[in-house]
Amino acid sequence: MSARDSSLRKDGWISCIPKQPWASGLAWGWKLPRKSGALAPRQSANQVKGFSPSVPRGLRALDCRWDYAALKGPLFHELAEVGKILARGIHDLAGVGKLAASGITVSLILVLVVHAQVTFERLVNSAKEPQNWMTYSGSYSGQRFSKLDQINNGNAHSIVAKWVYQTAATGKFETTPLVVDGILYATAPDDRAFALDARTGRPIWMYQRQLPGDIRPCCGRVNRGLAILGGKVFLGTLDAHVIALDAKTGAVVWDVTAADYRTGHSFTVAPLAVKNLIVIGISGGEYGVRGFIDAYDGTTGARKWRFYTVPGPGEPGHDTWESDSWKVGGAPAWNTGTYDPATNQIFWPTGNPSPSNRGEGRAGDNLYSNSLLALNADSGKLGWYFQFTKHDEHDWDATQIPVLIDAGGKKLIAQADRNGYFYVIDRTNGKLISATPYGKTTWSDSKDAEGRPVANKNASPTLEGHTVCPGALGTTNFMSPTYDPQSGLFYVTARDQCDIFSTAPQPYEAGHAFYGSAYFPSEESEPYLGFLKAIDPATGEVKRNFQHTSPTWSGVLSTAGGLVFSGDAEGNFIALDAASLKPLWHFQMGGAVYAAPMAFAIDGKEYVAIAAGSAIYAFGLP
């Protein structure tokens, strides 16, 4: 044990530095075999400080002994050799040459060595780094638009799969990867996080959260992705923890508890890094939680502020709740918001009131459910709000990505809402500019003085049940839209589906589902159709339609190459012309798409990546 020094190097890359060369094929003389696959060594074989497979926070992704990582794939055999060269001194480029001669991937070594810190300044100026994808939506604006144009509508027909990474995870795969300086970071169901060489898809590290057996996710054991800041990536978990992982090793840096998962609290959202804060919204509206948005110090994990999305006594908006209904009022915040650096405001959407489909017992508008909130990034203080659906009785969460658009000298937010209307809002004051239906709607046939749709007398659920459009899944849902500044169009996945809504009393019981209703597809409204729609934010008019074989859960990406990318429920990844929505290419991935695509570039080559089935696919030109 005296042959090693466990102190961390200044650059933080190697956690164990030898004081003498390795024995032949063995790390510091430990008699341990090399292993491949996602297997953890026995606890008895790992009495190294900081590593324990029994720690409930999850397995460390990389042991300081290069020959024996906690979770390893074939790439770790190369990393073992990389570690030896680096420990001897990476300045000795002859060592790198020896690695190349032996078949080790030198590009990977260089990527790991030159990996730069992700600063707030880089995130603000992400448009200057189109080769990277550093936030959930690609930029703070939420536009999910890439300035890369190597793949374009002239050559899209020749796109090929470049690599595929199989996660072996089951369930809905909703992640959007991040790519920073050649490394891809992503998540999989059950709170698995991993880093890949973005050139080849080969694994660098993997972290697996050890979840309790009695977690209560409403809608699948899903996770939509990570945030990155400094030298760490950040993960929200299904047992309501926020975790910081070392971006180079996957090791846990800090782990904080946000809420009690046994009452239905969970995190499924990709956090948003703003300044030195990690902002994240809670899930659990189907369990009667009191929703909130948190901000944590990225360095220490200390909570800096919390904004409750259901106001308590004495707070503005509390009088929009009947009696004590606010205590179990819901209004979760389970999709990622956006940020305007010019005003230092975070724009975060919220979900349904609880119970989700029964209004009796919670009379009032039920603020701030189904709303868009403008929060001061430093304090969490509310600047303004806009409520899309007052006193919701149809589970129409407004947790769609709010997209920032600057047009005609105006600062706007566009949001295609689950209730079937496309909204444009002045983001300087929260005032409504327009609300236009973009799918089949029957719940509203008039508007109030502000131009907000008003529910008609036939909208509320009944004991017997009756048909309302859209259904509970909404005209759209969590699927990320995109705004293409070149075409000036907003592209969103949509569906035409109506449900029969019924209602009945249900007492609240902590940790149990709290719906107050039942709903199921209405035969009056078949067939159920799925679309990719192109909307003009200036008018709210649907300019183009591409009809899918069936409704899909895929998000959308637009690029400077005049393309729009999306997927479908049948497993196809599709490239369409942004102007006409004519399909130009597709690839069958073998699994339904629940994620949104993104784009990145390495060595001057553009890639487009998406999760489908249980794998991440990367595509490029031949």
Active site residues per annotation: 395
Residue pair 357/377 in contact (Cβ under 8 Å)? The answer is no
Distance, in Å, from the CA atom of 159 to the CA atom of 352, rounded to the nearest integer, reads 41
Q: 7: buried, middle or exposed (CB in 10 Å: 19+, 13-18, 0-12)? A: exposed
500's enclosing H/E stretch is: strand 499-503
Phi/psi zone of residue 45: left (φ > 0), alpha (ψ -120 to 50 degrees), beta? alpha
Examine residue 527 and say whether the peptide bond preceding it is cis (omega within 30 degrees of 0): yes
Query: φ, ψ for residue 249 (rounded to 5)?
Result: -125, -20
93's enclosing H/E stretch is: helix 93-101
Pull the structure tokens for residue 380.
Answer: 């969490």
The β-bridge relationship of strands 403-407 and 382-387 is unpaired
Residue pair 142/555 in contact (Cβ under 8 Å)? The answer is no
Query: φ, ψ for residue 589 (rounded to 5)?
Result: -100, -10
Residue pair 65/26 in contact (Cβ under 8 Å)? The answer is no
Q: b or e along 300-339 (b: 16 or more beta carbons within 10 Å of the residue's beta carbon)?
A: ebeebbebbbbbeeeeebeebbeeebbebbbbbbbbbbbb
Distance, in Å, from the CA atom of 285 to the CA atom of 418, rounded to the nearest integer, reads 15
Distance of CA 319 to the CA centre of its chain: 33
**DSSP single-letter state for residue 335:** S
Give, in order, the Cα–Cα distances in Å from 274 to each of 116, 278, 323, 413, 492: 18, 6, 36, 19, 26
Give, in order, the Cα–Cα distances in Å from 347 to each of 284, 413, 425, 592: 20, 9, 12, 30
Distance of CA 592 to the CA centre of its chain: 17
DSSP 505-558: -----TTS---SEEEEE-GGGPSPEEEEEEE-TTT--EEEEEE-SS-----EEE
Pull the structure tokens for residue 571.
Answer: 């497993």
Examine residue 355 and say whether the peptide bond preceding it is cis (omega within 30 degrees of 0): yes
Residue pair 145/133 in contact (Cβ under 8 Å)? The answer is no
Q: Of 88, 86, 85, 63, which Cα lies nearest the Cα of 76?
A: 63
C-alpha torsion sign, points 341, 346, 347, 349: positive
Give, in order, the Cα–Cα distances in Å from 104 to each of 61, 68, 80, 582: 21, 18, 10, 43
C-alpha torsion sign, points 144, 150, 155, 157: negative
Which amino acid is present at 535?
I
3-state DSSP call for residue 123? helix
